[in-house]
């Protein structure tokens, strides 16, 4: 089948208002319907009203594959007809798939496809490769990527300048804003507003509208690659400040869901405290973390990091489950929430 696949684009539009943590965000400020009403519940309004801490909600992945996939997207992007053969293979490989929305500059016959894979050992960023692939072969290419750990695109053709081998780099950085309305109304509404309102983020930064990134209750959300960081409760100023690392570090830390290149929610929660302590240069360190012991909703976590210029930092922290909260579905009463999730809290963080 033939369908249009977009080149990456930087989007422009009207300015988004900032919504401080703890405040209810509505489609329209004039909308006075209670956020937790029986028919108008918005998951993001609930999370803000409860001041839910997003840390530890990023997920952990050996790799992230991003591919231009035509609309409409099903509720699960892997259920798209073009990807029928890929879903199970990606899961086995520990890789996450993100669909990218085509736009008017699409090549009608070929799609862009990128794979970001985790290096062995400590993590500082994913290593990326980029290809183009015939539209009707994108599923086969993703299967090849998953089976090869990101080194082989199968029928896909390497993009000029990316070089051979698994260590070839994808030029520039990528900001993926979740706008997956079929999965969640908050992402479809607030995420689309954010993506449409973003100014240019620089010549080397590409902005994409993407499929579900998890954590829809924290909408608008974004994933930054190759650093693998996920972010919550965004607006234009916050996302611009995160992208160029100018946002105050305490504000940024409150929006940080975690790094997908680190293993597990507890490690992600402890790592955030290192970000608070070191500041933005923390993301240039090669980091690793492990849970040393865990019992009764409390875990002892160790974080090790190698600085770019040499030297090692080590931290230990206690991570606790502060509360268990429902994960509501937009438009349905809170009591019908099918899932719940822990909110994590870090205590006793210190250099070791």
| Confidence (pLDDT) at 166 | 43
Give me the residues of the chain with pLDDT under 50, please: 1-38, 161-168
| Confidence (pLDDT) at 19 | 30
| Confidence (pLDDT) at 87 | 81
| Confidence (pLDDT) at 160 | 61
Contact 47, 257 (CB under 8 A): no
| Confidence (pLDDT) at 96 | 95
Domain boundaries, the chain: 1-261
């Amino acid at each position: 089948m033939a369908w249009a696949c977009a080149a990456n684009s930087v989007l422009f539009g009207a300015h988004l208002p900032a919504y401080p943590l703890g405040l209810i965000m509505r489609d329209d400020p004039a909308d006075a319907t209670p956020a937790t009403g029986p028919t108008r519940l918005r998951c993001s309004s609930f999370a803000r009203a409860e001041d839910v801490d997003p840390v530890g909600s990023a997920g952990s992945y050996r790799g992230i594959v991003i591919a231009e996939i035509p609309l409409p997207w099903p509720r699960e992007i892997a259920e798209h007809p073009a990807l029928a053969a890929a879903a199970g293979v990606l899961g086995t490989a520990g890789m996450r798939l993100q669909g990218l929305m085509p736009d008017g500059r699409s090549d009608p016959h070929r799609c862009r496809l990128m794979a970001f894979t985790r290096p062995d050992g400590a993590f500082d960023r994913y290593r990326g490769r980029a290809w183009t692939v015939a539209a009707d072969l994108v599923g086969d290419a993703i299967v090849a990527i998953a089976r090869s750990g990101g080194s082989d695109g199968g029928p896909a053709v390497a993009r000029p300048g990316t070089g051979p081998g698994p260590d070839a780099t994808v030029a520039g950085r990528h900001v993926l804003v979740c706008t997956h309305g079929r999965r969640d109304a908050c992402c479809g509404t607030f995420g689309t507003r954010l993506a449409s309102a973003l100014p240019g983020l620089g010549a080397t930064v590409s902005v994409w509208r993407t499929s579900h990134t998890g954590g829809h209750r924290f909408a608008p959300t974004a994933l930054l690659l190759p650093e693998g960081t996920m972010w919550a409760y965004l607006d234009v100023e916050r996302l611009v400040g995160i992208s160029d690392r100018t946002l105050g570090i305490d504000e940024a830390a409150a929006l940080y869901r975690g790094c997908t290149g680190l293993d597990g929610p507890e490690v992600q929660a402890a790592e955030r405290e290192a970000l608070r302590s070191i500041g933005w240069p923390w993301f240039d360190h090669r980091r690793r973390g492990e849970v040393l012991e865990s019992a009764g909703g409390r875990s002892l976590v160790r974080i090790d990091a190698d600085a770019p210029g040499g030297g090692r930092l080590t931290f230990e922290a206690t991570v606790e489950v502060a509360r268990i909260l429902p994960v509501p579905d937009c438009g349905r009463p809170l009591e019908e929430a099918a899932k719940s999730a822990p909110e994590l809290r870090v205590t006793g963080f210190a250099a070791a």
